Structure 1
Amino acid sequence: MHLRFSIALASLLVLVSVADAQDVSKKKSSVPPPTHTDVKYGPHDRHVMDVWLAESDKPTPVVVSIHGGAFRHGDKSVSRPVLRECLKSGISVVAITYRFTPDHIAPAQHRDAARAVQFVRHNADQWNLDPTKIAAVGGSAGAGMSLWLGFHDDMADPKNADPVLRQSTRLTCMAVNNGQTSYDPRFIRKLYPGTDTYSNSALAQLFDIDMKQLDNLPTEKYKLFEEVSALTHLTADDPPVLMTYDSDYDTPISSRSIGIHHPRFGKVLKERMDKLGIECVVHTDFKKTGNTRADQVVPFLNKHLLSDGK
């Protein structure tokens, strides 16, 4: 009798523990639904964004999340912990998507991201946003586009018939992961000698080129390489950057995937930004730190987006 009772009690406690753990997990991962879903920011089917507006009596800063996916797949996405902590800090969040290759080659994707930022500014009054405090976050391709946006000269066209395109494209800061600081295959070939990282199929599609002909392409293709590479546009008046990478500087490049997400990209950027006196923080070997990216990203965003520097 006592044995049966003990077994039953133990089973009940296990069930309660599992339920409690599931409840805690659900609470930790739960985020509110978007304030606005599938908002059209341009004419194409993939010109859509989800918008989470932080509760505030005054205009809030905003983070624009640009998803990765080798420029050819993916959808609106944002890290749940980053989203949750940003909203808690009083920072609004926008998640976008953009046109894909091979139907639309570069710079379509980069221009889409720029238009999304302009659209956010265009709606700043309506959404209670601070148009002077906009950051970009993203991973892989989304990271590369975030950096490109932050370094590129302002693309505002004050006389454009489209009021969205009259807005500024400039950013306050960028916080990215596993990002590429250049998409120029020639630069990548030099950065990773003895590897085939530069011949990544995503880059071939992005530029609509045959990598076997890399040294014999039309001049306009080389100009395009440079146009969509963040490093090309870096100048002394550009905003600060946080970069995180899963691997470390000594990680062997045993595949194109490892190479295209390797922290050597971040090392080159940091060296150049250090010379210009611009803040650039690079965290490597992130998978072994035991931290979440939100542990690094959110304090960085708070520092640069919140006026009181919390």
Structure 2
Amino acid sequence: MDFYQAESEGAAPVVFYLHGGGWMDGDKSKVNKWDTNRILEAGISIVSINYRYVSHAKEASVFPPVKWPMDDTVRALQFLRSKADEWNINPDRIAGMGGSAGACSLLWVGLQDDLADHDAEDRIEHYSTNLYCLALDGVQTTLDPVVTREMSPNAWYGGHAFGFDYSLEKGERDELFAVFYERRDEVDEWIQKYSPIEYASAGDPPIYLYYKYEPGFGARQKDPTHSANFGVLLYEKLRVVGVECDFYYPNSKLTTYDSMENYVIDKLLEK
């Protein structure tokens, strides 16, 4: 965990950052792809973490493998809150910010009811996992292969989260996704548990969704793994339950924000 402390007269709000990489690679240094100096100069501290990959979980016979990066997200957020006094941070103003798989983990935590366990022997587990807001780049809102193929016919991502073989090679990845698709019912319980959209409900924190390309539901996507179609699914569900959601993609009229940094600064510093 890297902590970048902002100069602040009082307890500073915090950006809690998770990197992308499919839960298979990448590290906490990816936070520097964003304008961290601007965030710090606004008086907002930043925390960026590493987490265990699905490959580590699979090697340890932990199933579904996605459990480890998700659990690590919860633990890191609770640890961050435990340091509120020592690090001069405001535990009630923590924004989750991340990309791709890291964004998926944050959304999974952020949409759930508080995961604090006040009966746990470990005091860290007593701390809240609630987030003040979320800013997410290219987030996968569901891991259900039937849904992803319906909205993006060339989708191929997600099976590795549940222990299926996975490849980045174009021909091979499609064949392996077909296995995941055909055997989906075997892992239905896990898909429901680890797909963030399943937890969307009234009272969730405000969310900013950022996607590089316009959505095209039912059409082949330039980048199906980070398709704005994922955002369409979540935006519509949040709209129904009355949760604030800014949804950016080229030519979008569903937000006034054109960057993650602008969003988290405005939200964390709002009165």
Residue of structure 2 in register with 1:285 after alignment: 250
Deviation (angstroms), 1:81: 4.4
Residue of structure 2 in register with 1:244 after alignment: 210
Q: Give, as a single letter, the amino acid of the residue that structure 2 aligns with 1:119.
A: F
Deviation (angstroms), 1:114: 1.1
Kept after mapping to 1: 8 A contact 2:84/2:91 = yes
Report whether the alignment pairs 1:54 with 2:6.
yes
Query: Aligned runs of 1:1-310 on 2, under 5 Å?
Result: 49-76=1-28, 77-104=30-57, 105-192=65-152, 195-197=153-155, 199-200=156-157, 203-209=158-164, 211=177, 212=179, 214-216=181-183, 219=186, 221-250=187-216, 253=220, 258-285=223-250, 296-308=259-271
CA change 1:133–1:259 in 2 (3 A) is same
Kept after mapping to 2: 8 A contact 1:183/1:225 = yes
TM-score (norm 1): 0.74
Provide, for residues 107-142 of structure 1, a one-character-per-residue CA deviation record: whole Å limited to 9, x for no partner. 111111111110100111100011111111111111
Within 2, Cα distance between the matches of 1:207 and 1:177? 22
Structure with higher RCO (Cα < 8 A, 6+ apart): 2
CA change 1:304–1:282 in 2 (3 A) is same
Within 1, Cα distance between the matches of 2:232 and 2:12? 32
Q: Give, as a single letter, the amino acid of the residue that structure 2 aligns with 1:144.
A: C
- Alignment gaps of 5+ in structure 1: 1-48, 287-293
Residue of structure 2 in register with 1:46 after alignment: none
Deviation (angstroms), 1:160: 1.2
Kept after mapping to 2: 8 A contact 1:185/1:225 = no
Within 2, Cα distance between the matches of 1:120 and 1:279? 25
Deviation (angstroms), 1:234: 0.7
- Secondary structure of residue in 2 paired with 1:102: helix
Within 1, Cα distance between the matches of 2:236 and 2:229? 11
Kept after mapping to 2: 8 A contact 1:106/1:224 = no
Q: Give, as a single letter, the amino acid of the residue that structure 2 aligns with 1:184.
A: D
Measured on the aligned residues, the alpha-carbon RMSD in Å equals 2.2
Residue of structure 2 in register with 1:11 after alignment: none
Within 2, Cα distance between the matches of 1:227 and 1:144? 13
Kept after mapping to 2: 8 A contact 1:102/1:206 = no
Deviation (angstroms), 1:190: 2.5
Aligned length: 246
Q: Give, as a single letter, the amino acid of the residue that structure 2 aligns with 1:206.
A: A
Q: Give, as a single letter, the amino acid of the residue that structure 2 aligns with 1:64.
A: F
Q: Which has the larger radius of gyration?
A: 1
TM-score (norm 2): 0.84
Task: Among all aligned residue pairs of Structure 1 and Structure 2, give the percentage whose two residues are the same amino acid.
Answer: 32
Deviation (angstroms), 1:295: 5.3
Within 1, Cα distance between the matches of 2:184 and 2:148? 16
Q: Give, as a single letter, the amino acid of the residue that structure 1 aligns with 2:8.
A: S
Within 2, Cα distance between the matches of 1:254 and 1:235? 28
